[in-house]
Amino acid sequence: MIVHRRFEVSTRGNDDVIDLTPMLRDAIQDSALQCGTATLFVRGSTAALTTIEYEPGLVSDLAMVLAAVAPRGRAYAHHEHWGDDNGHAHLRAALIGPSLVVPFVDRTPLVGTWQQVVLIDFDTRPRRREIACLLMGE
Amino acid sequence: MIVHRRFEVSTRGNDDVIDLTPMLRDAIQDSALQCGTATLFVRGSTAALTTIEYEPGLVSDLAMVLAAVAPRGRAYAHHEHWGDDNGHAHLRAALIGPSLVVPFVDRTPLVGTWQQVVLIDFDTRPRRREIACLLMGE
Amino acid sequence: MIVHRRFEVSTRGNDDVIDLTPMLRDAIQDSALQCGTATLFVRGSTAALTTIEYEPGLVSDLAMVLAAVAPRGRAYAHHEHWGDDNGHAHLRAALIGPSLVVPFVDRTPLVGTWQQVVLIDFDTRPRRREIACLLMGE
């Protein structure tokens, strides 16, 4: 059986991290499924999905580490193409990736106690983001 | 219902980026499935899958950023093991990852307008690559 | 049909890399499934899953590359929050990611010959790790 849900969140952009775990728990609880997989996928190429212990310290540490790998303000070739200023956002998103698959059993996602499912929005402005959530199971 | 497809592409290696989105769209259209997940997986440890806005500027930016993280030509321990020269290719592939799961609804993958599903081939020579595509749904 | 398995492994922490491929092969063989997806997910926010050619040289190269991106011993904001010393472990795990989906056909995972499915434990002490393995297919 398949259930398709769509999560919509507002972000401030600029490495904003949104905890999707409550939405994921609700989606699983609201479905008739006991056991299966939740496939999460963020539409758009300047945001990404991963898991992290969601506390303000780590959230700022993650931004710092990614800023060293793909700094904002560098003269990326992407900027010449579109006149954009968000080359770093595209690169960070491609490194982390847009998809995450979380198994669930007994209507509960199998994440750790200190492990949250998060969206990171790397774009340079506030965005409305859509995350597809496809539950598949029995 | 499950449909197994195999994508084969030729690459030039050396960070070549191939857009798999048309193949993915065709595979979904050719199946009888309306809704489900497409699991993509590249066989081999020197290539990876992610999404990116597929334009030449970003493609070269991504290569530049990864070259700083895992530079070509460094004295990797892997080279001593096999006499290989592609340690950087293995490392970049492990960082990005080999698998990507894309949900589809109404026979359409839920990627953003400027978001393409891509293979990056980090190896140091042209390669023939095989990507497994497993469609699961109803 | 869905089969839920739980892999448990002991690690030494500190970038220890464990090859999960034999466990994955056994789980698929022991199931009645011919074809489908194996969703692997590590519970906890200081370990990650990817694929790599599992040989000691690359394992140490990967640790070196990640140590440059998120060095141990830096004054991470996370340490102020909990008095922890493992901020680098959280960051490396978030970059690599906790989930991996491997398709299988004819009871065989579609990994390459030199491509192993691995757990990397970034925490600063030995750990007992649990990896959920959800097989879905027919």
| Rounded percentage of chain C residues whose pLDDT exceeds 90 | 96
Whether the per-residue pLDDT at C15 is higher than 80: the answer is: yes
Interatomic CA distance for residues A41 and A28, integer angstroms: 16
Instruction: Dig out the tokens for A68 from the structure.
Output: 């060293």
pLDDT the model gives residue B82 = 75
Name the DSSP letter for residue B15: T
Element (H, E) at B27: helix B21-30
User: Is-contact A131 A9, C-beta < 8 A?
Assistant: yes
pLDDT the model gives residue A126 = 98
Verdict on whether the full-model pTM lies above 0.90: yes
Whether the per-residue pLDDT at C81 is higher than 80: the answer is: no
Which chain A residues are within 8 Å of B62, Cβ to Cβ? Answer: 91, 94
pLDDT digits (tens, 9 = 90+) for A101-124: 999 999 999 999 999 999 999 999
Contacts for A68 with CB less than 8 Å, ≥ 6 apart: C69
Pairwise CB contact (< 8 Å): A52 & C70: no
pLDDT the model gives residue B79 = 94
Mean pLDDT, to the nearest integer, of B75-79?
95
**Nearest neighbour of A52 by CB, restricted to C45, C99, C132:** C45
Pairwise CB contact (< 8 Å): C51 & B98: yes
Instruction: Dig out the tokens for C119 from the structure.
Output: 């757990």
Q: What is the mean pLDDT of chain B?
A: 97
Whether the per-residue pLDDT at A82 is higher than 80: the answer is: no
Interatomic CA distance for residues C40 and C7, integer angstroms: 9
Whether the per-residue pLDDT at C82 is higher than 80: the answer is: no
Identify the CATH number of the domain defined by range A14-137.
2.60.120.460
pLDDT the model gives residue A49 = 98
The beta strands (E) that lie in chain C are given as: 2-11, 16-19, 36-42, 47-52, 99-105, 108-109, 116-121, 127-137
Interatomic CA distance for residues B121 and B116, integer angstroms: 16
Nearest chain C Cα distance for residue B94, angstroms: 6
Determine the 3-state secondary structure of A29 from DSSP. Answer: helix
Whether the per-residue pLDDT at B81 is higher than 80: the answer is: no
Q: Is B2 exposed, middle or buried (0-12, 13-18, 19+ CB in 10 A)?
A: buried
Element (H, E) at C56: helix C56-69
Nearest chain B Cα distance for residue C85, angstroms: 23
Q: Which of C52, C92, C107 to mutate to test the interface with B (most CBs of B within 10 A)?
A: C52
Nearest chain A Cα distance for residue B47, angstroms: 13
Q: What is the mean pLDDT of chain C?
A: 97
pLDDT the model gives residue C89 = 98
Whether the per-residue pLDDT at A81 is higher than 80: the answer is: no
Interatomic CA distance for residues C118 and C19, integer angstroms: 5
pLDDT digits (tens, 9 = 90+) for A10-67: 999 999 999 999 999 999 999 999 999 999 999 999 999 999 999 999 999 999 999 9
pLDDT digits (tens, 9 = 90+) for B91-117: 999 999 999 999 999 999 999 999 999
Among chain A residues, the shortest Cα distance to B95 is held by A95
pLDDT digits (tens, 9 = 90+) for C107-124: 999 999 999 999 999 999
Mean pLDDT, to the nearest integer, of B40-54?
98
**Nearest neighbour of C52 by CB, restricted to B37, B45, B136:** B45
| Rounded percentage of chain B residues whose pLDDT exceeds 70 | 100
pLDDT the model gives residue B120 = 98
Which chain C residues are within 8 Å of B93, Cβ to Cβ? Answer: 51-52
Q: How is domain B2-137 classified at the CATH fold level?
A: Jelly Rolls (2.60.120)
- pLDDT-based confidence at residue B134 (cuts at 50, 70, 90): very high
Q: From residue A125, how far is each of A62, A69, A82, A94 by CA, in Å?
A: 19, 20, 16, 18
Nearest chain C Cα distance for residue B117, angstroms: 16
Q: From residue B20, how far is each of B26, B98, B119, C73 by CA, in Å?
A: 10, 14, 7, 41
Among chain B residues, the shortest Cα distance to A98 is held by B51
Total count of residues recorded for chain A: 138
Whether the ipTM is more than 0.85: the answer is yes
Whether the per-residue pLDDT at B132 is higher than 80: the answer is: yes
| Rounded percentage of chain B residues whose pLDDT exceeds 90 | 97
Tell me the DSSP string of B46-104.
SEEEEEE---HHHHHHHHHHHHHHS-TTS--HHHHHHS-S-HHHHHHHHHH-SEEEEEE
pLDDT the model gives residue A94 = 98
End-to-end CA distance of chain C: 6
Q: Which of C51, C95, C100 to mutate to test the interface with A (most CBs of A within 10 A)?
A: C95
Nearest chain C Cα distance for residue B28, angstroms: 16
Q: What is the mean pLDDT of chain A?
A: 97
Mean pLDDT, to the nearest integer, of C35-64?
97
Q: How many beta-carbon pairs below 8 A join chains A and C? A: 101
pLDDT the model gives residue C101 = 98
Chain A residues whose C-beta is within 8 A of a chain C C-beta are 35-37, 50-53, 55-58, 60-62, 65, 68-69, 95-97, 100-103, 105, 110-112, 114-115, 136-138
Pairwise CB contact (< 8 Å): B61 & A95: no
Q: From residue C93, how far is each of A58, A111, B123, C120 by CA, in Å?
A: 12, 14, 25, 8
pLDDT the model gives residue B83 = 83
Mean pLDDT, to the nearest integer, of B4-21?
98
Pairwise CB contact (< 8 Å): A132 & B58: no
**Amino acid identity at A102:** V
Q: Which of C7, C43, C82 to mutate to test the interface with A (most CBs of A within 10 A)?
A: C43
